[in-house]
Amino acid sequence: MSTLPVFVRLPAARGWAWLVHAHALFARARLYWLLLILGYWLITIMLTIVPFIGVAAATLLKPVFAVGFLAAAWSQEKGEAPRLSRLFAGFRSNVRALLPLGAVYAAGIALALAISSVMDGGALMRLILFGEAPEGNVMAIPGIQSAMALAALCAVPTLLALWFAPALIVFQDQPTFTALSLSLRAAFSNFTAVVIYAMSVFLFWVVIPGIIISMSAVLFGETGALFGVALATPITLSVVAVIHVADYVIYRDLFHHGEVVEAKGDTPPSG
């Protein structure tokens, strides 16, 4: 058994630095990263349409594919291209330890949705888990906006526990539940930096595209709104890619602070 990894505590401003560093890596291999994102989405869609087991398989394999993005970022830091083949690196790693992370994700999100049902009578839970969409505007359902906020808040511990767990399992040979615990502790110990990072992501992922779409709609009507969506989509897609790169950047900064990835080598960084 490997030694227990040690993480550092960093100032709040580091949250913005994480996003800047991740974007710099993305910008140097933009096409590769967009292909990785589109490839993952395509695989996920193909899995979810498989009857009975598709959605469950996509959920369980989510952490395995997360390792693929980590491997792509690691290979780029070594000076290699983050090729699409890296997306499947997780299947050559400790899959038995990674798959339970998918179950933890599913259970945590389901629990958050169940708790949120006190706000809207379970409408959000039925919509997300069972696809039961009511007639008319979903956002007009009494209490559903409060349910969304509560579900998001309740899902935070699960998401933070899963954030660095795949990297800790594959790069540092940690058992599943040790990795979950370490990830949660590292995130909460750097909570101010995490909040700054999350707010920065929200700005570029939600606020700026929303402004573009709204302004286009105001200026040009319904056609303008569609044009705004077309303008905002590349931004949104790029932000999604940057988020995946940032998962690696933040893990490295917290658990391998100050270390430099050598340009050559055949194995990921380990503790």
- The verdict on residue 167 lying in a domain is yes
The amino acid sitting at 226 is: L
pLDDT digits (tens, 9 = 90+) for 31-85: 999 999 999 999 999 999 998 899 899 999 999 999 999 999 999 999 999 999 9
Total-model pTM = 0.90
Mean pLDDT for the chain?
A: 91
- The verdict on residue 9 lying in a domain is no
- The verdict on residue 267 lying in a domain is no
List the one residue out of 175, 185, 237, 231 whose CA is nearest residue 3.
175
- The verdict on residue 261 lying in a domain is no
Mean pLDDT of 118-136: 83
Mean pLDDT of 127-133: 80
Handedness of CA 39, 40, 45, 47 (dihedral sign): positive
- The verdict on residue 6 lying in a domain is no
Domain span at 186: 14-255
Candidate from 4-13, 16-25, 122-131, 251-260 with smallest mean pLDDT: 122-131
Handedness of CA 166, 172, 177, 182 (dihedral sign): negative
Collect contacts of 8-14 with beta carbons under 8 A, ≥24 apart: 8/253, 8/254, 8/257, 9/189, 9/190, 10/190, 10/193, 10/253, 10/254, 10/257, 11/192, 11/193, 12/192, 12/193, 12/195, 12/196, 13/193, 13/196, 14/190, 14/193, 14/196, 14/253
Burial (Cβ within 10 Å: 0-12, 13-18, ≥19) of residue 94: middle
Contact 119, 146 (CB under 8 A): yes
Q: Alpha carbon of 99 to those of 207, 208, 244, 245, 248: distances in Å? A: 34, 35, 19, 21, 19
Q: Alpha carbon of 191 to those of 51, 186, 262: distances in Å? A: 40, 8, 30
The number of domains in the chain is 1
CA 262 to CA 44: how far, in whole Å? 33
In the block, tokens 């933070």 appear at: 160
- The verdict on residue 78 lying in a domain is yes
pLDDT digits (tens, 9 = 90+) for 224-263: 888 888 889 999 999 999 999 999 999 999 999 988 777 6
∠20-185-65 over CA atoms, to 5°? 60
- The verdict on residue 172 lying in a domain is yes
* Residue-wise DSSP of 75-106: HHHTTS---GGGGGGGGGS-HHHHHHHHHHHH
Q: What b-and-e string marks burial along 32-59, b requiring 16 or more CB atoms within 10 Å of the CB?
A: bbbbbbebbeeebeebeeeeeeebeebb
- The verdict on residue 105 lying in a domain is yes
